[in-house]
Amino acid sequence: MPNSPVAMANHEAHDNPALLHHFATEQQQKDAASLGMWVFLATEIMFFGGMFCAYLVYRYWYFGDFGAGSQSLSVILGGTNTAVLICSSLTVALAVRAAQLGQQKVIVTCLILTMILGCVFLGIKGVEYHDKFVEHHVPGASFHFPGHIPAHPDVPINQQHAQIFFSLYFIMTGLHALHMIVGVGLFAYITYYALHKRYGPHYYTPVEIAGLYWHFVDIIWIYLFPLLYLIDRHK
């Protein structure tokens, strides 16, 4: 039978100030945080999944108009952004490695680089959005997307279908950008603590799970880029 209630509390002495009271060991805390982030990312997959679902349905139905919309996006800017994000995933991975090895300066450097790259991404995104605004490709009253379907010079673009493409474009990339802003904010917070030498081989969980989050945001973009920018481009 189990222990009976004892008058005095009997907590373990915790050497590590980062160990929270309700965990028995540091390993348990780390495992919990890790699993928590993976589970959270699963929910994010479902969140974006709904939009991908809508996208897939309309792309199947309105392929030509989606192709036209896609080809009005800049592959150069989008491709650059893809490279930027992949590099930022590299810097994040290096930051985690540095934390595991206790290389304090490297941690901070890599985190700052990651944030810079993230902001570069957001900046380029801003330029793209601006372009769309100027060209009247933003859904709404002033939406205007003249032209014809790729490889079919005699078939005009259906404005409604094109507007659906751009609606999905803005919502999907917009939500992605929102997640990136949150990510940059997270890294700012972690960099602050890294500057105070909080992380090392004994405790680097926040760096690791923030890194996981960032990798996920990167992977979402790796799907978004071809689906939005590269429709029917081979012709």
Partner 1 sequence: MFQTMPLWPVRASTTANSVDALYIFLVVVSALMSAAIFTMVVYFAIRYRRQQGRRAEQIEGSHALEITWSVIPFCVFMVFFGWGANIYFKERKPPQDSAEVYTVAKQWMWKFEHMEGQREINELHVPLGRDVKMIMTSQDVIHSFYVPAFRIKQDVLPGRYTVAWFRPTKPGTYHLFCAEYCGTSHSGMVGSVVVMEPKDYEAWMGGGGSQPLAVTGQQLFTQLGCVTCHRQDAQGRGPNLVGIYNKPVLLEDGRTVIADENYIRESILQPAAKIVNGYKPIMPTFQGQISDEQLNALVAYVKSLSQSSGQTGGKSMAAATAQPQM
Partner 2 sequence: MATAAVETGERETYLNREYGIKSWLLTVDHKRIALLYLMSITLFFFIGGFFALLIRLELLTPAGDLVQADTYNKLFTMHGQVMVFFFLIPAVPAVLGNFLIPIMIGAKDLAFPRINLLSWYLYIIGGVLMLYTILNGGVDTGWTFYTPLSTEFLNTHVITAGLAIFVAGFSSILTGLNFVVTTHRMRAPGMTWSRLPLFVWAHYATSIIQLLGTPVLAITLVLVVCERLFHLGIFNPTLGGDPLLFQHLFWFYSHPAVYIMILPGMGIVSEIVCCFSRKRIFGYQAMALAVLGIAVVGFLVWAHHMFVAGISLYAAMIFSLLSYFVAVPSAIKVFNWTSTMYKGSITYQTPMLYAFGFIGLFTMGGLTGLFLASLGVDVHVTDTYFVVAHFHYIMVGGMVMAYLGGMHFWWPKISGKMYPEGWGRLAALLVFVGFNLTFFPQFILGYLGMPRRYWDYSHSPEFQILNVLSTAGATVLAVGYLLPMIYFLWSMRYGKPAPANPWNAAGLEWMIPSPPPTFNFDLEPVVTWEAYNYDQIKEEVPVAQ
Structure tokens at 123: 């900046």
Q: For residue 200, what are the β-bridge partners? A: 203
17 binds partner 2 (CB under 8 A): no
| 154 in contact with partner 1 (CB under 8 A) | yes
Q: Which CB, 52 or 112, lies closer to partner 2?
A: 52
Which amino acid is residue 14, in one-letter code? H
CA distance 118 to 88: 7
Q: Which of 14, 130, 136, 152 binds partner 1 (CB under 8 A)?
A: 152
d(C-alpha 54, C-alpha 49), whole Å: 9
Instruction: Report the sign of the C-alpha dihedral through residues 167, 171, 176, 180, in that order.
Output: positive
Residues 11 and 22: their CA atoms lie apart, in Å, by 10
40 belongs to the binding site for partner 2 (CB under 8 A) = yes
* By CB under 8 A, residue 13 contacts partner 2: no
Question: Is 160 one of the binding residues for partner 2 (CB under 8 A)?
Answer: yes
Sign of the torsion angle spanned by Cα atoms 212, 213, 214, 219: positive
Q: State the nearest-atom distance from the C-beta of 152 to partner 2, in Å.
A: 18
Stretch that binds partner 2, among 55-63, 149-157, 185-193, 209-217 (CB under 8 A): 55-63
Q: Contact region for partner 1 (CB under 8 A) — 36-44, 77-85, 122-130, 151-159?
A: 151-159
Q: Does 60 bind partner 2 (CB under 8 A)?
A: no
C-beta contacts of 76-79 below 8 A and 24+ residues apart = 77/124, 77/127, 77/128, 78/128, 78/225, 78/228, 78/229, 79/225, 79/229
Among 49, 126, 156, 185, binds partner 1 (CB under 8 A): 156
Least CB distance from residue 195 to partner 2, whole Å?
23
Whole-Å CA distances, 235 to 50, 71, 151, 152, 154: 30, 11, 7, 11, 16
Contact between 226 and partner 2 by CB under 8 A: the answer reads: no
Binding of residue 155 to partner 1 (CB under 8 A): yes
Phi-psi region of 134 (alpha: psi -120 to 50; beta: other; left: phi over 0): alpha
Residue from 71, 109, 158, 167 in contact with partner 1 (CB under 8 A): 158
- 42: contact with partner 2 by CB under 8 A: yes
Binding interface with partner 1 (CB under 8 A):
64, 152, 154-156, 158
Binding interface with partner 2 (CB under 8 A):
1-3, 5-11, 21-22, 24, 28, 31-32, 35-36, 39-40, 42-44, 46-51, 53-54, 57-58, 62, 139-140, 158, 160-161, 163-164, 167-168, 171, 175
